[in-house]
Amino acid sequence: MKGIYLAGNFHKTEKAIKTISPSNGEIIDEVSLAGEGEIERALGAAWEGIGKEIPRRLFFRLREVLSRRAEEVAQLIAMEQGKPVTEALAAEIYPSLSYIAFLEEKGEEFIRDKDMPPEEPMFSGRRGRLIMEPTGITLVISPWNYPFAIPFLDIVASIFASSPVLFRPSSMTPLVGLKIAELFQEAGFPPFSLQVLITTHGDAERILREPRVSTVKFTGSFEVGRKIGAIAGEELKKATLELGGKDAMVVFEDANLERAVNGALWAGFMNAGQTCASVERLIIHHEIASSFLETLKEKVDKLRVGDPLEDGVDMGPMVSENQREKVLSMLKGGEVIAGGKPIEGKGFFMQPTLVYEPPEDSPVWQEEVFGPVISIKTFKTEEEALHLANNNKYGLTASVWTKDRERARRISEKLEAGVVTVNDHLSSYAEPSAPWGGVKGSGLGRSHGSFALQGVLQPKYIMEDFSRRKKLLWWFPYGEKNIRIMLLASRMLYGKGKLKALMELFPYLGRLLKEVGLSSLVSSLGRLIGL
C-alpha cells in the first residue's frame, strides 16, 4: 500500500482506496486515504512555507530527476491512466520539463519587485513600487486524463512563486500523483513546499473552505468546476478553472488535405479522446468533405488499439467502464461511419468512432463526449463555419486549417476560444510561455507562462512620499478655495479650456507650490503641453 505525502515523508493510514488498471480491470495497488488529522498536519506544514523562497537550484535538480526517470514515470501513466508510453512522454513529461526550464530562465522577471513611477502629475516626485506576494496555500485539484502534466505545471509554478501546495490527485490515478511527490522529495524540496493527499470529495471541499487556502487551481468537468468556483467566490479565494471543451477543427477547401487528416486523427484520438482540447467537432468545407472523410476513415480503421505498455499501440483504453458506457450512450443522431462499439475482452477499450452529420442540437455535437469520438459536419461559407464552431457553451481551443494567411487570421480572431492554432491542434499546450485556458463554459483564468505565477500571487502597490510638505492640497480643512483649485486643475489637465484654466490658477501658485510641490507643477505643465 502506498502512503500519502505529508511534511516531506510518505505516511500510511488506516483507510485506503484501490487503483484499477484500465487495460485489464485488475487492481494495481492500494493507496492511503487521508483523514482529518492528516489534512490538518498537511495544512500546518504548508502554512510554514508561505512566502519562503525556494532555492532556484532545486528546480534544476527537479528537471534533472524528471529527465532521468522519464521512462519510469511514462510507464506508470500508461499503466494507471491508459495512454501509450510514447504519448505520456510527448504530452505529459516533455511539457513538464519545458516549463521548468522556462521558469528557470524567465520566472524571476515575472515575480520580482518593479519600480512603477506615478503617472499622475500631482504625485510627481513620489516613488511607486509593485511587489507580488503569495497570500496563502494553493490547492491543486487535478483530473485523471493528464494525471502528471496538468498538476505538475500548476505545482511547479505555485512553489516557484513561494506559494506552498496541497495537491489532491484524482482518486482514479493516485499513483501518478504520489510519483510527483517522489520527484520533489528526491530533488530536495523543503517539507513545507508540497503535500499530496488522497481525500474524499467532502474533505476536498473542506480544504477549499479552509482560511489558510487562498487559491485553488482546478482542472475537470464543467459541473464540478462551477461548484468549486461558487465556493471560491463565497470565500473570496482566487480560482483558476480549466473546465470542459468541445473543440472545433475548421478545415477549408485549400487546406493541405493529408496534413489536416493526420491532424484530425491525432487530435481526435490521442489519449482515447479523453482530452479537454480534443477535436470533437470536425467542420469541413463541402468541396473536400468526400475525399477528406474517405482518407480519414481509412486511417481510423488502421489505428492500433491495445495495451498502452506494448510497442506499436496507438490508442489505449478508456479510463473506466463507466466512462466507456457514458461515451457509448451519447452516440445518438447522425450516421456512425466508423467504430461505435466497445472492444470485447479485458479492459475498457472502445473503437475509434466517426459520427457524420449529427443534428446540431444533439448531445454528441453539443456536449463534451470525452472519448474516442469525432462528430463531423460540412459547411459552404465562412459564416456557416463560424456559426457551427461558436454555437456551443464551451470555448477552450479551436483550430483553422488553410493555406490562406489572411483567412487564417480572420477566422482565428472570430473563433470563440481561449487558444487557436492554425494548421495544428492542441499542441500549443507544450509552449511554456503561452497562456492556456478557455472562455464561456471552459473556465476562468489561465495557466502556463507568467499567467500561472500571477494566479497564485497578489499585487501590492507601495507609494512613497518623502517630501517635507506638512499638508497636501486635498487634506482638511476643506473650503471654497479647495473646490476652485481642484476644478481648475481638473480642467487644465484633463478637460477643455486648458490654457484658460491655467491662467486662472496663477493666483493660487503659492499655495500649490507649498501643498503640491514644484515637481508636480512642472509635471502638470508637461502634461498640458503634451510632453
CATH of residue 327: 3.40.309.10
CB-CB contact of 185 with 193 (8 Å): no
Query: Is 24 a domain residue?
Result: no
**Are 226 and 325 in a shared domain?**
no
Question: What is the residue range of 210's domain?
Answer: 38-243+450-459
**385 and 311: one domain?**
yes
Cβ atoms of 407 and 422 within 8 Å: the answer is no
pLDDT tens digits, residue range 469-526? 999 999 999 999 999 999 999 999 999 999 999 999 999 999 999 999 999 989 998 8
Give the helix, strand, coil percentages of the chain, each rounded to 5: 45, 20, 35
Q: How do 335-338 and 353-356 pair as beta strands?
A: antiparallel
Q: Based on the domain organization, do 281 and 237 belong to the same domain?
A: no
Total domain count for the chain? 3
276 included as an active-site residue: yes
Q: What is the pLDDT of residues 14-51, one digit of tens each?
A: 999 999 999 999 999 999 999 999 999 999 999 999 99
C-alpha cell at 81: 491512466
**pLDDT tens for residues 309-318?**
999 999 999 9
Give the pLDDT confidence score for residue 261 in this predicted structure: 98
Task: Give yes or no: residues 397 and 327 share one domain.
Answer: yes
220-224, Cβ contacts within 8 angstroms, sequence gap of 24 or more: 220/141, 220/142, 220/143, 221/368, 222/368, 222/393, 222/394, 222/441, 222/442
CA pair distance 267, 299, nearest whole angstrom = 13
Residue 184 lies in a domain: yes
pLDDT computed for residue 362 by the predictor: 97
Check whether residue 152 and residue 277 sit in a common domain: no
Residue where the block lists cell 487557436: 420
Each residue's pLDDT tens digit, 355-411: 999 999 999 999 999 999 999 999 999 999 999 999 999 999 999 999 999 999 999
Residues 264 and 371 in one domain: yes
Q: Record the pTM.
A: 0.95
Of 269, 240, 71, the closest CA to residue 153 belongs to 240
Note if 26 is an active site residue. Answer: no
- DSSP result, 108-140: HHHHS-EE----SGGGTT-EEEEEEEE-SEEEE
- Please answer whether residues 248 and 281 qualify as being in contact, where contact means their C-beta atoms are separated by less than 8 angstroms: yes
CATH number for position 127: 3.40.605.10
At residue 135, the pLDDT reads 86
Q: Which of 242, 280, 368, 515 is catalytic?
A: 242
Q: b/e map of 408-429 (b: 16 or more CB within 10 Å)?
A: beebbeebbbbbbbebebbbbb
pLDDT at 528: 81
Proportion of the chain above pLDDT 70, given as a percent:
100
Please return the burial class of 128, using the count of CB atoms within 10 Å of its CB with bins 0-12, 13-18 and 19+.
middle
Q: Clarify whether residues 312 and 173 are in a common domain.
A: no
Q: Would you say residue 531 has pLDDT above 60?
A: no
Tell whether 438 is covered by a domain.
no
- Mean pLDDT of all residues in the chain? 96
Among residues 87, 92, 210, 276, which one is catalytic?
Answer: 276
Section 182-207 average pLDDT: 97
pLDDT at 282 over 60: yes
Distance CA 118, CA 7 (A): 44
Residues paired with residue 475 on neighbouring β-strands, in sequence order: none
User: Does residue 354 fall inside a structural domain?
Assistant: yes
Q: Is residue 74 included in any domain, yes or no?
A: yes
Q: What pLDDT, on the 0 to 100 scale, is given for residue 527?
A: 85
C-beta atoms surrounding 280 within 10 Å: 28
510 part of a folded domain = yes
First to last CA, the chain: 70
The reply to whether 202 falls in a domain is: yes
Q: Are residues 315 and 422 in the same domain?
A: yes
- The SS3 assignment for 447 reads strand
Are residues 66 and 73 in contact, defined by beta-carbon separation less than 8 angstroms? yes
User: Taking 80 as the threshold, does the pLDDT of residue 228 lie above it?
Assistant: yes
pLDDT at residue number 187: 98
Which long-range contacts does 354-357 make (Cβ < 8 Å, 24+ apart)?
354/293, 354/296, 354/297, 354/300, 355/331, 356/293
Q: Are residues 330 and 364 in the same domain?
A: yes
> Could you identify the residue written with the cell 497564485?
456
Instruction: Let me know the angle formed at the C-alpha of 336 by 334 and 340, rounded to the nearest 5 degrees.
Output: 130
Give the count of alpha carbons within 13 A of 46, CB side only.
Answer: 33
Determine contact, residues 398/389, Cβ cutoff 8 Å: yes
One-character DSSP codes across 261-288: HHHHHHHHHGGGG--TTSEEEEEEETTT
> Same domain, yes or no, for 360 and 382?
yes
Of 133-137, 225-229, 283-287, where does mean pLDDT reach its minimum? 133-137
- 444, part of any domain: no
Q: What is the pLDDT of residue 127?
A: 97
Bridge partners, residue 5, by sequence = 10, 196
- Please indicate, yes or no, whether residues 184 and 217 belong to a single structural domain of this protein: yes
* Segment 115-163, tens digit of pLDDT: 999 999 999 999 999 999 998 999 999 999 999 999 999 999 999 999 9
239 shares its domain with 259: no
